[in-house]
Every structure is written in structure tokens, then in C-alpha cells.
Amino acid sequence: MSKHVFFAHANGFPSGTYGKLFAALSPEYQVAHLQQHAHDPRFPVDDNWRNLVDELIHHLEQQPEPVWGVGHSLGGVLHLHAALRCPQLYKGVVMLDSPVLTRADQWVIRAAKRLGFIDRLTPAGRTLGRREEFADLDTARQYFAGKTLFRGFDPECFDAYLQHGLRRDGDRLRLSFDPATEISIYRGVPHTSPGLARHLKVPLAVVRGRQSRVVMPHHTRSVDRLPHGESLSMPGGHMFPLQRPQDTAQLLKTIFARWERQAGQGRCA
């Protein structure tokens, strides 16, 4: 059975930020990832994230075997859409605080785009005008430590964000994840899907943060009704993979092991 995980990060959080989670998955699982999605000029951000799914599929096709796809927020949706298009590349998909959108959700998003209030529906509005550069690391640390989004971060994950989320630009530090790209991703949030979730051919788990308002009760109900779907929860908010990386890794191992047993039983039946 596959011991390969391909991880896809949340919008604005380079994969290096999740290093403690990756370390906790090893040595049982090998974790592959892109350092930053949406920064390859071959796959520019577009509406409904089709190019970003193309980018993910491009890299999955280079993996030695089908993977366990794990994605946080943006990354979870990318894996779901990729698995609907190319199920042969996957053993299963785990979405970390990432909703499987219902038809009603998609209708609201479509309307928000057409009527011009998508920035209020997504974090794009809060991202506009955000500080992009800093004089030094201490200034950046102080700035991000004061933000609600980073509250409760595991200290090592917070340090990893400062290391991977910033780059040297002359004598200053700048965000390594292009802010304009981050906003474009939010504005392009999908109101369509390459297929119906109930037609997904691999197991799907959605893990929500118990204090998060991203995955809502109607999302978990719809996932539980899927033929191969299940919903689980973890303590913490939307950023729980970076608040509790070791607990998240343990839950992932438990999910993968159970899916492997079920696949084995299916072959023997």
C-alpha cells in the first residue's frame, strides 16, 4: 500500500511552515509537496482554480505511485478537484478544515462574484492592504504575533512561518507568498466542481477545527452522506494543523491505517 503523502498548503502559507507536521508523519510516510502553489507562471491563478488543479495534477503524475492527498484549506479543495478528475493518482483524500461545497454554497459564491461582494465572503478583504515588508525579523515576529490568525500556533510552526513565509529583498524582508496572488486565489474560489463529490472513487475525510467557522454543520452532514465520505474534528480553529501539528499527524496516521485495512478486506472479500 502507498506510504506516500502529497501535501497541499493553505493560501499564503508556504509548505515549509508545516515542517513539524511532516516530521511527525515520518518515517512511516514520505511527504512530497510544492513549496508554494500558484507561483508557477505555467499555471496562473484563474477563476474556479482550474489552473491550480492542473498544477497539482502535473506534480502528482511525477510521483512514484498513487498518494494519500492531504490538503489544508485551499489545498484540500485542490486535492478534491484533482481526485475527481484523476482518481488513479490517489489512494484517498483528507481535507483539513476545507469544506466540500454544496450547490447552495456554489450559488452564493457565484452571486458574490457577479455582484462584487466576494471580498466580504472570503478573506480577500482582510488581505487587501496588509503589510508586505519588514525592516527585520524581530519586527515581523512582533507584527504576526499580534494577529488573531497566528494565535495558538505551535511555537515551532510560528518560527517556520517566519523562516519560509518571508524572503530577503535587499536590506528588508518581504512576504514570500505574493500578496496579489493570495488575493486572486480568494477571489477565484470555485463556484463549480469537476464532478459531484458523491462520484468520488477514493475515500474522503474532512477534518474540521472545532472552533473554526469554515467547515459548517451542513458541510459535515453532506460529507457523511457520501459513499466513501466521513467527517472528523480536531481541537482548535481553522489553523489547527499549525496549532497542533503532532496531534494532526497522529490523526492522519489513524485514518490512513484504517483505509489500508478496509482496502485489504475489500480485496479478500
Structure confidence at residue 130 (pLDDT): 79
In the chain, domain spans: 4-109+194-268
Query: Using one digit for the tens of pLDDT, what is the confidence trace for 177-207?
Result: 999 999 999 999 999 999 999 999 999 999 9
Structure confidence at residue 79 (pLDDT): 98
Which band of pLDDT confidence, cut at 50, 70 and 90, is reported for residue 263? confident
Cα dist. 11→58, 114, 215, 266 in Å?
A: 19, 23, 16, 37
Which band of pLDDT confidence, cut at 50, 70 and 90, is reported for residue 268? low
| Rg of the chain on CA atoms, in Å | 18
Q: Cα–Cα–Cα angle for 37, 40, 43, nearest 5°?
A: 90
Q: Which residues contact 156 (CB under 8 A, 6 or more apart)?
A: 19, 20, 245
Mean pLDDT, to the nearest integer, of 82-110?
97
Q: What percent of the chain has pLDDT over 70?
A: 98
Which band of pLDDT confidence, cut at 50, 70 and 90, is reported for residue 261? very high
Class of domain 4-109+194-268: alpha beta
- Is-contact 219 48, C-beta < 8 A? no
Query: Using one digit for the tens of pLDDT, what is the confidence trace for 108-161?
Result: 999 999 999 999 889 887 777 779 999 999 999 999 999 999 999 999 999 999
Helical (H) or strand (E) element with 179:
helix 179-187
Structure confidence at residue 124 (pLDDT): 81
* Residue 42 half-sphere exposure toward CB, CA atoms < 13 A: 7
